[in-house]
Structure 1
């Protein structure tokens, strides 16, 4: 079977760290173009300043992976769909719920494949946790997703601007796991959002959730961008039958009652592109918006607090 001809739009950190190397080694795809406003490239692959220039020069592009900041993804995705391309969206898929809903409807109306990726969901330990909780139920889940913004977004001021998500940029990864493993849909009950005095998006967030589960589990999340040292990307879970569960290292390791039962290398993006190839072959879309809705709800009900100014 011929390879799918794909291009990347936006060559920031995530594209360079994950998308480029994964596409290069995936037998289902051939990278035939990239766009970068900064003029970055990738080996001998043609590089362009705008998607329009790329589509004109490389008309046989079948699909694009959009890896720009979220505030511009809607317009870029619509342009790609109008150009007859299938679309993979880095997370978060759009800056607003209305934009996301529009892309889902527009892609469907044009017969294009749309894939809103949530990379943290693509771990065997996450699948195993989902199966466990479906059987055993949930008594409590405590999410801690804490990292150093200076390490993971060095000098990237867009994360502090409206539409940049702030600490919810990594926090939405935790929420994507959360909505996948929960046996019933969670809802944001309350939120405390901490903003630096000189920034427009939060540096910290503490959330409390409810759910339709009659057992009324205790569900909380703590997101923070001021963590020093190693990242804390984990969930502490107590099942309905009393087992102590830890899902950690970004969802790659599952531990039950102190024993590791699932541990796999971090191959989230490899699995994303396997899934994208399946969707392209089947001409199907995958556009779950649940993690984005939880972020929006947290912003709607959140109580604002102010902390010291943040500078790089």
Structure 2
């Protein structure tokens, strides 16, 4: 669809890979199943952390925050995508696009920061166990969490407001399954090159501090466990799940955010976005629960309690 240069579009058509696949209903059914998996897994993990006394340490508090982020990100995408497909009207307003972009960017940024905080918590628990009750007391955990949420929200305001203020006088077709910054910048009829450079540097600054914290923390952890061979297997086992999540999330995020716009294609953006916003949140609870004896034990106690109740 084309429009003259005198006015700007206020509604957009979402045409991602679902409109190009030969079996969109089957693909959507798989995506809905994964959405429900994300919600059920993370809600179950949140419930276990809340009711089980053995899951009241800082590690599980931060893990509960990760679950909340995954749930929020899924809710920002899933319902709108499902409704559009069922109603056969893939339309979203500019305001709705800005709001969706804000939640997606803020949840991604919050997860970056949180993974850094979680690595610091593992460093304190393993390398400074005697100081852990002081360094990671509840007030500090709450302050770190508030900083994660506030920092991510402020960072997401910049692209959300920028997209809202841009003129769109050419095509109003977004080649994506949801509103995303690169897709919106392609549609703007103003020069966005300066903002693209700013967004690139913001992405680098968003990625590097948490990644540096993770690398330093796990270097110290590795040195500590090598010096105390008796506890090495147990200590490394508690960190493996976190490192696996970090590898999945950061690998996809670096590929997604740090590539120049000229090297991107809509299909690649769709696939990487789906991995970051659907696949990773689906895997996170499974990675943490299947490799964590405390979580598995809490789940067994819950099942025994309900079985006896029946």
Specify the structure having the higher radius of gyration (Cα).
2
How high is the TM-score relative to the length of structure 2? 0.27
Higher strand content, 1 or 2: 1
How high is the TM-score relative to the length of structure 1? 0.26
Higher helix content, 1 or 2: 2
Higher RCO (C-alpha 8 Å, min separation 6): 2
